[in-house]
Amino acid sequence: MTHATDIDARYALAKRVAQEAARRGMGYYQQRDDLIVEHKGGHRQDVVSMADRALEDYIRAELLAAFPDDGFLGEESGSIDLDARCLWVIDPIDGTACFVNGLHNWCVSIGMLLDGVPHIGAIADPNHNELFHGVRGQGAFVNDRPLRASEATHVREGLLGVGTFYARGTEHFIPFLTRLLGEGGMFLRNGSGALMTAYVAAGRLLGYYETLLKSWDCAAGLVLVAEAGGRSNNFLRGDGLLHGNPYLVACPGVYDQVAEMIGPMLDGDQVTPLQ
């Protein structure tokens, strides 16, 4: 049985570990010329470094030392007990391509699902000294400030975060961009799905669309968007937890407009995983 106090303790832990992992990440970032970078699946943009692996090991050890019966899913090391009621879903560095190239758009993302629903989120961005955090039903914050999604009612009122990978780029992404620009909208891609999700919760972006995102990139951010009054698609449907799905988060006033630009694949049948 998971009691309310357990949620409080996990929330405090998520914030502390995200901050400490981000602090350690900064150490690697400042020495990034010494990092050996590998390219996953032969794709130049899909990279992993020793920093990713070391930070994931640290995060997994801290979380499971405090809550040994919890489940765990991480980008770099795989899963432990996916059927546990409390399942941590983490990305040690989201925005690795930025990280290895000296661009400041990367963060540590720690989410926790309770009975399959995103419940706790902590996203630490050490380059801007921002910790985005929240708990389902208890609000979401950046540092001490409450998060609120934008009140815009049309895409032309702000910026939309976007992202895509490989094959799906030509299949879905270009037609989507054509529609967005046709409506007077404009896009931004910063390379970190977790940060762009946090920016939707903060009202800085109107929304964020990714043709296929992975669960560790958004498990934390989905809590923040819900608590900030934003909307999201049914991202975790099918085996979205393990293989990802198309992803949309947006303020309530533009969600339907953007969903229409994406078309039925947003909440359609399971997409074929890449690679």
Quick one: tokens of 258?
A: 């953007």
Q: Which is nearer to ligand 2AM, 75 or 227 (CB)?
A: 75
Give the DSSP letter of residue 157.
G
- Least distance to Ca ion from the beta carbon of 240, Å? 17
Q: Is 126 in the site for ligand 2AM (CB under 6 A)?
A: no
Q: Which is nearer to ligand 2AM, 42 or 68 (CB)?
A: 42
Q: Is 105 in the site for ligand 2AM (CB under 6 A)?
A: no
Residues contacting 51, CB < 8 A, separation 6+ = 25, 28, 29, 32, 35, 92, 93, 99
Q: Which of 11, 17, 51, 75 binds Ca ion (CB under 5 A)?
A: 75
From the list 66-74, 94-102, 149-157, 236-244, the region that binds Ca ion by CB under 5 A is 94-102
Q: Write the CA distances from 245 to 12, 100, 208, 217, 239, integer angstroms.
A: 29, 26, 14, 11, 8
Residues contacting 113, CB < 8 A, separation 6+ = 86, 87, 89, 119, 219
Site for ligand 2AM, residues 50 to 79, rule: CB under 6 A: 75
What is the C-alpha separation between 263 and 207, in angstroms, rounded?
16
Q: Is 163 in the site for ligand 2AM (CB under 6 A)?
A: yes
Site for ligand 2AM, residues 6 to 45, rule: CB under 6 A: none
- Least distance to ligand 2AM from the beta carbon of 235, Å? 13
Q: Which of 64, 84, 103, 274 binds ligand 2AM (CB under 6 A)?
A: 274
Q: Which of 24, 63, 72, 91 binds Ca ion (CB under 5 A)?
A: 91
- Least distance to Ca ion from the beta carbon of 168, Å? 18
CB atoms within 10 A of CB 119: 25
* H helices present in 157-251, as ranges: 167-168, 174-182, 193-201, 215-227, 240-243
Beta carbons of 161 and 209 less than 8 angstroms apart:
yes
What is the C-alpha separation between 128 and 151, in angstroms, rounded?
25
Q: Is 141 in the site for ligand 2AM (CB under 6 A)?
A: no
- Least distance to ligand 2AM from the beta carbon of 86, Å? 23
- What is the pattern of x (binds ligand 2AM, CB under 6 A) and - over residues 241-270? ---x--------------------------
Helix axes 174-182, 252-262, angle to 10 degrees: 130
Q: Which residues bind ligand 2AM (CB under 6 A)?
A: 46, 75, 91, 94-97, 163, 165, 191-193, 210, 212-214, 217, 244, 274
